[in-house]
Amino acid sequence: MAYSNKVLDHYNNPRNVGSLDKNDPNVGTGMVGAPECGDVMKLQLKVNPVTGIIEDAKFKTFGCGSAIASSSLATEWVKGKTVEEAMAIKNTDIVNELSLPPVKIHCSVLAEDAIKAAIADYKKKQANGAGASRPVTEAVS
Partner 1 sequence: MKLPIYLDNHATTPLDPRVLEAMMPYLTTQFGNAASRNHSFGWAAEEAVEKARKQIADLIGASPKEIVFTSGATESDNLAIKGVAEMYAERGNHIITVATEHKAVLDTCKKLEKHGYRVTYLPVQPDGLIDLDMLRDAITDKTILISVMYANNEIGVLQPIAEIGKIAKEKGVLFHTDAVQAVGKVPVNVIRDNIDLMSISAHKIYGPKGVGALYVRRKNPRVQLTAQMDGGGHERGMRSGTLNVPGIVGLGKACEICQQEMPEEMARMARLRDRLKDKLLGSLDEVYINGSMERRLPNNLNVSFAFVEGESLLMGINDIAVSSGSACTSATLEPSYVLKALGKGDDLAHSSIRFGIGRFNTEEEIDYVGNRVVEVVNKLRELSPLWEMHKEGVDLSKVEWTAP
For position 15 contacting partner 1 by CB under 8 A, the verdict is no
Residue 30 DSSP one-character state: E
Inter-helix orientation angle 91-98/5-12, to 10°: 100
Q: Applying CB under 8 A, which of residues 10, 26, 28, 32 lies at the interface with partner 1?
A: 32
Indicate if 37 belongs to the active site: yes
What is the total count of residues that contact partner 1 (CB under 8 A)? 32
Q: At closest approach, how far in Å is the CB of 117 from partner 1?
A: 8
Q: Applying CB under 8 A, which of residues 5, 13, 35, 84 lies at the interface with partner 1?
A: 35
Indicate if 107 belongs to the active site: yes
Please state, in angstroms and as integers, the Cα–Cα distance from residue 4 to each residue in 67, 76, 84, 106, 122, following that order.
13, 18, 30, 16, 33
For residues 94 and 89, what is the distance between their CA atoms, to the nearest angstrom? 8
Q: Residue 80 in contact with residue 50, Cβ under 8 Å? A: no
Q: Footprint of partner 1 on this chain (CB under 8 A)?
A: 3, 11, 14, 17, 19, 31-42, 60-65, 67-68, 103, 113, 117, 137, 139-141
Please give the positions annotated as active site. 37, 107
